[in-house]
Amino acid sequence: MLVALPSAIAFGVTIYSVLGAQYGAQGAVAGILGTVALGLLAPLFGGTNRLISAPCAPAAAVLGAFAIDHMSRGGSPELGLLLLALMGLMAGGLQLLMGALSLGRLIKYMPYPVVSGYLSGVGMIIIASQLPRFLGLPKGTGFWGALGSPEMWRWQGMVVGGATIAVMLTAPKITKKVPAPVLGLAAGIATYLTLGLADPALLTLEGNKFVVGALGGGEGGGLIEAFSDRWNALGQLGFNALRDLVLPALTLAVLLSIDTLKTCVVLDALTRTRHDSNRELLGQGLGNLAAAALGGVPGAGTMGATLVNMSSGATTKLSGLVEGIAALIAFVLLANLISWVPVASLSGILLVIGVRMIDWHSLGFLKHRATVLDFAVIAAVIACALTISLIVASGVGVVLAVLLFIREQVHGSVVRAIVSGDQTFSKRVRVQAERDILTEKGGQTAIVELQGSLFFGTTSQLYHALEADLKRRKYLILDMRRVQAVDITAAHMLDQIKDMLGERGGMLIFSRIPKHVPSGKDMEDYFDQVGLVRSSHKVRAFAELNEAMEWVEDQLIAEAALAHNDEIPLELFEIELFAARKRETLAELEVQMEKRHVAAGEVIFSIGDHGDELYLIRKGSVRIVLPVGQGQIHHLATFGRGAFFGEMAFLDGEARSANAVAFSDVDLYVLSRQQFDAFTDSHKKIALNMMEGLASVLAARLRYTNAELRALQA
């Protein structure tokens, strides 16, 4: 309370003094009432432990700027009082709406340059508004006018304000038990009373412009009179006045919410807790509604008071409630003392707050080329806040931050890798003749791995990256696994690529289209809605990249006239491993083999099984998969017609190292090691040739794997 209350009084005096010097006392009351209302209601309904809510600098800046604008247009002080209260009510209501719509998490993601520039702008506005008060100049004197009129400076105010600032800055170095604003305010009051010994006029409360003035009476100072002024101003309220409140109220609601949630995030980090953003917005909204209804200044969860509260040993939301009760007690018991608070002392407190609000760290962004544009956003927000309005500053900042984001996305590559189809192959293990075809014809295929966001800003970059491949490739496989977003512009460009490939008899192929992207969009459904993957001979989509590559390889092999009738089982002499061997000898070997049929989906062997059989595929295909836990499997390879598998256990006699599952109905030749060894006693040459064939095929597979690894590294 001791940290929050002096600042709240200063903020209130700053806002209300714009309406007339006689309203300064009412401003002090408004600051206290805002502290009480927020302290009593925000902790009860918000529920963030240790959080202290009170009037804050953003509220003072927005309300003060609105009051200045209102008076400059010839508005009456009474209507100004009513409009300030209505703005507080609207801001509190908007915060309730934000909480009800679960917008709390979104507000936390306001770009840092915007927040930095906005708070720095608010700090500078506070400095500009308080310097004339610090110098003791008449109402209406601006910042530059104050600097250019040293003959009008009042030394009494400067001495009091200087003493306040000096104590505020030096007190933390001496003691942290008593908050610096309290010591600074005490020093200001003591200095003022000391000056009063030499000038008795300073010790007179009535008509004294150096102090806040009587809180319970005097022109514009009483609570009853304040409510009466607002009630009488209802007759001056019109549609135009209410319309002019909407944007400032929205700005105020957003700023107060950002200030609160920023404090909550810091509190979470320090205490290893987690606050409920939406619930806290509801609590803050109720607190600000109550503050405005009482004629108080709205506020937010404040960083300084919250950190003092935490370091003092607070652990629950009860501490926030105690702060509100303590502020109410202080108002009742210390009203007479508050009347003697020097305006220059409050200005000194606000000048220190304003200087501390400026993000001096952001100047470091000028040292690095990568962050210069971020500093430009901060500078633009500050310039708009100082020259136009805080509302415009927030809009400009968000727009510039979005443009910077788009620029970053545009300059980042959306193409992660492009690999030619003659450098990388599917996991289907093929016979040598098919491998030769794929080595020769695989260059007709390009596998493109995309990443990031495909939107209007990166569409041109993507097209230029693919342009060379579109001219010489027949099949273009786009791996979408790392894509996070696709907009209609990118979808239209992909549709044009599909048509370009189709005109040359080619095809666009998608693989691993994300079911859900970070935005929550179902990308598969979106592609179907825009007509990108609907039934067409120009486009296909596969769930896995390997499936897409395997399909393209089958097309290339078919085009090379090597396609075969997969429905007819191979004879032993047609299998690559036994090519050019005598049929008579192979017939004797076939007697030693078991012919086995396995239905699609059945397990042929499992990891850890003991068995030494070699399997030769006569028809169908077999997948080798590796269990990786939690019901997931990793696809290692696919073996098709004419290939063999199980050779590792056949050669070393160890347990199986993976699972073999029939991908389709499979016909097999099965040769156990015992049968093979028995056969070699009388047919040593063919046995030797078979082992040499196994070694040759395995070596060829290894060479292809090495080539793929080199291509991927490149």
d(C-alpha 183, C-alpha 189), whole Å: 10
Please indicate, yes or no, if residue 444 is contained in any of the structural domains.
Answer: yes
* 581 and 555 within one domain: no
What per-residue confidence (pLDDT) applies to 710? 64
What per-residue confidence (pLDDT) applies to 381? 83
Please indicate, yes or no, if residue 366 is contained in any of the structural domains.
Answer: no
The residue that leads in pLDDT, 562 or 287, is 287
Please indicate, yes or no, if residue 402 is contained in any of the structural domains.
Answer: no
d(C-alpha 231, C-alpha 86), whole Å: 12
In the numeric block, which tokens belong to residue 672? 């156990």
Mean pLDDT calculated for residue range 47-73: 87
* 311 and 416 within one domain: no
Contacts of 590 (CB under 8 A, 6+ apart): 572, 669
* 423 and 342 within one domain: no
Percent of the chain clearing pLDDT 90 (strictly above): 18
What per-residue confidence (pLDDT) applies to 218? 43
What per-residue confidence (pLDDT) applies to 432? 80
Binning pLDDT at 50, 70 and 90, where does residue 69 land? Answer: confident
662 three-state secondary structure: strand
Binning pLDDT at 50, 70 and 90, where does residue 286 land? Answer: very high
Specify whether the CB–CB gap between 296 and 16 falls below 8 A.
Answer: no
d(C-alpha 232, C-alpha 383), whole Å: 38
Q: Is the per-residue pLDDT at 613 higher than 90?
A: yes
d(C-alpha 287, C-alpha 292), whole Å: 9
Within 520-602, strands assigned E span 539-542, 594-598
Last residue of a domain, one of 289, 322, 357: 357
d(C-alpha 47, C-alpha 65), whole Å: 32
* 583 and 498 within one domain: no
* 584 and 553 within one domain: no
H or E element that contains 481: strand 475-486
* 86 and 132 within one domain: yes
* 680 and 547 within one domain: no
* 588 and 514 within one domain: no
Binning pLDDT at 50, 70 and 90, where does residue 91 land? Answer: very high
What per-residue confidence (pLDDT) applies to 600? 93
Binning pLDDT at 50, 70 and 90, where does residue 528 land? Answer: confident
Q: How many structural domains comprise the chain? A: 3
Rounded to 5°, the CA angle 607-613-618 comes to 105
Domain carrying residue 165: 4-357
Percent of the chain clearing pLDDT 70 (strictly above): 88
Q: Is the per-residue pLDDT at 605 higher than 90?
A: yes
Last residue of a domain, one of 503, 527, 559: 559
Binning pLDDT at 50, 70 and 90, where does residue 14 land? Answer: confident
Alpha helices in 442-538 (DSSP H): 459-472, 488-503, 523-529
Helices (H) and strands (E) in the chain, counts: 27, 16
Q: Is the per-residue pLDDT at 520 higher than 60?
A: yes
* 197 and 343 within one domain: yes
CA neighbours closer than 13 Å in the CB half-sphere of residue 317: 18
Mean pLDDT calculated for residue range 379-395: 77
What per-residue confidence (pLDDT) applies to 351? 84
In the numeric block, which tokens belong to residue 634? 């990793």
Binning pLDDT at 50, 70 and 90, where does residue 549 land? Answer: very high
Please indicate, yes or no, if residue 370 is contained in any of the structural domains.
Answer: no
What per-residue confidence (pLDDT) applies to 704? 64
Other beta carbons within 10 Å of 121: 25
* 598 and 543 within one domain: no
Q: Name which of 585, 586, 592, 563 is nearest 573 in CA terms.
A: 586
What per-residue confidence (pLDDT) applies to 221? 47
* Residue 274 to residues 109, 119, 285, 287, Cα–Cα distance (Å): 16, 25, 20, 21
Contacts of 122 (CB under 8 A, 6+ apart): 57, 58, 61, 354, 357, 385, 390
Mean pLDDT calculated for residue range 409-428: 82
* 669 and 605 within one domain: yes
Per residue in 20-49, pLDDT (tens digit) is 777 877 888 889 999 999 999 999 998 789
Please indicate, yes or no, if residue 502 is contained in any of the structural domains.
Answer: yes
What per-residue confidence (pLDDT) applies to 693? 79
Ranking 4-13, 302-311, 538-547 by mean pLDDT, the lowest is 302-311
What average pLDDT does the structure give for the chain? 82
Please indicate, yes or no, if residue 401 is contained in any of the structural domains.
Answer: no
What per-residue confidence (pLDDT) applies to 656? 92
What per-residue confidence (pLDDT) applies to 54? 92
Per residue in 559-572, pLDDT (tens digit) is 886 556 667 899 98
Rounded to 5°, the CA angle 196-200-201 comes to 100
Per residue in 550-599, pLDDT (tens digit) is 999 988 988 886 556 667 899 988 888 887 778 887 888 888 899 999 99
Last residue of a domain, one of 559, 593, 610: 559
Residue type for position 626: L
Query: Which residues does residue 412 pair with via DSSP β-bridges, in sequence order?
Result: none
What per-residue confidence (pLDDT) applies to 593? 92
CATH number of the domain that residue 656 is part of: 2.60.120.10
Please indicate, yes or no, if residue 377 is contained in any of the structural domains.
Answer: no
Specify whether the CB–CB gap between 346 and 168 falls below 8 A.
Answer: no
Binning pLDDT at 50, 70 and 90, where does residue 609 land? Answer: very high
- Residue the block writes with tokens 């908050």: 179
Specify whether the CB–CB gap between 611 and 670 falls below 8 A.
Answer: no
Binning pLDDT at 50, 70 and 90, where does residue 510 land? Answer: very high
Give the CA diameter of the chain. 131
* 617 and 549 within one domain: no
Please indicate, yes or no, if residue 386 is contained in any of the structural domains.
Answer: no
CATH number of the domain that residue 443 is part of: 3.30.750.24
Number of residues in the chain: 714
Other beta carbons within 10 Å of 583: 12
Ranking 273-277, 299-303, 539-543, 553-557 by mean pLDDT, the lowest is 273-277
Mean pLDDT calculated for residue range 382-399: 76
Mean pLDDT calculated for residue range 210-229: 58
